[in-house]
Amino acid sequence: MEKVAAWIWYMATMSSDAHQQAVDSVSKRNKACEVQPEHLVSLEPIHNLLRAMNDPFEAASRIAPLMDEIPVLVARCERRLLRHSPYAEWRSTAHLLSLIGNRGLESELLSLLEDLTNLKMDVEERAREQSGT
């Protein structure tokens, strides 16, 4: 409840320009989190990340570069962190990973895979409709 009150106070004290910049920033971040058909082209980075995450002794310093190959996942992890801690700051993807933890990453990756699956079904359905079968 304190976070909500702090956010309301922060938004109320912002100038209209600063408020608009905050709204624009959230809109850009949400757009970066959306899956696009071009994300379906190469799933190899996701496979590499899954293999690394399967190793319980794998360090964040090895997982972070694999995350960087999947910008939509990084954007979702950033959004997750900012939902829980609106004033959080991070210096790198490894730092972001340490802040959201493995469970946070797993949750965002699962959500991403679900969205990619739904997108693939939609793309295939549109292709069938266009071909007339």
Per-residue pLDDT at 16 exceeds 70:
no
Residue owning tokens 């266009």? 130
pTM of the model: 0.76
Provide the residue range defining the domain that includes 41.
37-131
15 against 103, higher pLDDT: 103
Straight-line distance from the first to the last Cα atom of the chain, in angstroms, rounded to the nearest whole number: 53
Dihedral through CA 51, CA 56, CA 62, CA 63, nearest 10?
60
User: So what's the pLDDT on residue 3?
Assistant: 65
Whether the CB-CB separation of 96 and 90 falls below 8 Å is answered with: yes
Q: Give 33-73 pLDDT, tens digit per residue.
A: 999 999 888 889 999 999 999 998 888 889 999 999 999 99
Is 87 domain-assigned? yes
Q: Please, which pLDDT band fits residue 19 given cuts at 50, 70 and 90? A: very low
Is 89 domain-assigned? yes
Is 118 domain-assigned? yes
What is the total count of domains within the chain?
1
Is 121 domain-assigned? yes
Per-residue pLDDT at 26 exceeds 50:
yes
